[in-house]
């Protein structure tokens, strides 16, 4: 009897260990669609409650002139995410990415679908270089005013996956604060696209400089001080008065008579004495 119990004990211990280590199961809602009702293929999914979670996503993405709006709910194998959302960035020429996400880890906690982040058209006084390019084409950026809560400038490169195809991309633009945590190797997954970042930077956007009013010929006449007029008076010309005394040299002028006076006096005395 004792030997039977000893033989049975390992099996009992293994069963007890398996029961205590069995992972708790998390149940989440699932669906996919292009409207907020998200009514395509509704159902549930299950995942490990210790590490997983439930996801609910609303996104509005326009790249290459095509707008795609999707709503979906699913299980998460990992509750942690590389990128916090909501996220929004505009890369010029009408191209943008806007994603709103909720994450939770209780049963059926993703019943509600979040609303799509709406892009603001209100200028915030900031600006960034913007461009979007695929397949190593030159990303010719142009400075664009930022709007709403997009108060940072971003510059990202990586690979963009869509279905079975992928291509390198570069994107510059105005963004919210969320992309600051994007690091090499971070992945952003959407309904149609997967962004695999291998480099990224995000800095506060600069203020739009205030330009002075345009200068015209009329404004110059009104605002420019009159130039100082300098009147140049020609130097006075010295006038030499020449007085010609009878018997004197014209070149000696008024001093000629005084020079001859002693000689005349001597002649007069000689005449009187004789």
Domain span including residue 62: 23-207
pLDDT at 11: 55
Q: How far apart are CA 128 and CA 21, in angstroms?
A: 53
Is 121 a member of any domain? yes
| Residue with token string 């190593």 | 136
Is 2 a member of any domain? no
What's the DSSP call for residue 241? P
Is 239 a member of any domain? no
Structure tokens at 31: 């669906």
User: Is-contact 123 146, C-beta < 8 A?
Assistant: yes
Is 125 a member of any domain? yes
Alpha-carbon distances, residue 216 vs 227, 228, 274 (angstroms): 18, 22, 100
86: closest CA among 117, 55, 63?
117
Cβ neighbors of 261 (< 8 A, separation 6 or more) are none
Helix (H) or strand (E) holding 71: strand 66-76
Least confident range from 42-56, 91-105, 200-214: namely 200-214
Is 197 a member of any domain? yes
Instruction: State pLDDT tens for residues 98-141.
Output: 998 888 989 999 988 888 878 888 999 999 999 999 998 889 88
Q: How far apart are CA 183 and CA 97, in angstroms?
A: 18
Q: How many CB atoms lie within 10 A of CB 135?
A: 8
Is 17 a member of any domain? no
Is 219 a member of any domain? no
Q: Indicate the pLDDT class of residue 96, thresholds 50, 70 and 90.
A: very high
pLDDT at 251: 38
The alpha helices in 72-113, defined as continuous H runs, are none
- The pLDDT of residue 270 is above 70: no
Is 265 a member of any domain? no
Could you give phi then psi for residue 263, rounded to 5 degrees?
Answer: -65, -40
What is the number of domains present in the chain?
Answer: 1
Least confident range from 30-39, 50-59, 255-264: namely 255-264
pLDDT at 38: 86
Q: At 126, is the secondary structure helix, strand, or coil?
A: strand
Structure tokens at 240: 């030499």
Instruction: State pLDDT tens for residues 211-247.
Output: 755 655 544 444 445 455 544 445 544 444 444 444 4
What's the DSSP call for residue 122? S
In a 10 Å sphere around its CB, with 0-12 CB exposed, 13-18 middle and 19+ buried, how is residue 150 labelled?
buried
pTM over 0.85: no
| Residue with token string 């009702």 | 37
More confident residue, 185 or 214: 185
């Amino acid at each position: 009897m004792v030997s039977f119990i000893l033989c049975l004990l390992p099996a009992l211990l293994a069963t007890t260990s398996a029961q205590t280590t069995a992972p708790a199961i998390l149940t989440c809602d699932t669906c996919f669609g292009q409207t907020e009702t998200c009514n395509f293929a509704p159902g549930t999914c299950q995942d490990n409650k210790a590490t997983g979670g439930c996801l609910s996503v609303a996104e509005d993405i326009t790249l290459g002139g095509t707008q795609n709006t999707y709503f979906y709910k699913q299980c998460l194998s990992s509750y942690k995410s590389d990128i916090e959302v909501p996220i929004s960035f505009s890369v010029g020429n009408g191209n943008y990415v806007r994603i709103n996400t909720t994450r939770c880890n209780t049963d059926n906690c993703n019943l509600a679908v979040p609303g799509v982040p709406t892009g603001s058209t209100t200028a915030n006084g900031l600006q960034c270089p913007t461009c979007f390019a695929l397949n190593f084409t030159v990303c010719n950026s142009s400075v664009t005013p930022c709007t709403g809560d997009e108060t940072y400038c971003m510059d990202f490169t990586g690979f963009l996956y869509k279905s079975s195809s992928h291509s390198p991309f570069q994107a510059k633009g105005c963004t919210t604060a969320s992309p600051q945590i994007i690091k090499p190797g971070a992945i952003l997954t959407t309904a149609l696209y997967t962004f695999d970042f291998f480099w990224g930077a995000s800095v506060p956007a600069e203020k739009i400089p205030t330009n002075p009013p345009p200068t015209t010929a009329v404004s110059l006449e009104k605002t420019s001080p009159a130039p100082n007029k300098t009147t140049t008076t020609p130097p006075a010309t010295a006038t030499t008065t020449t007085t010609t005394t009878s018997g004197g040299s014209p070149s000696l002028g008024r001093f000629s008579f005084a020079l001859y006076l002693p000689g005349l006096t001597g002649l007069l005395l000689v005449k009187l004495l004789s």
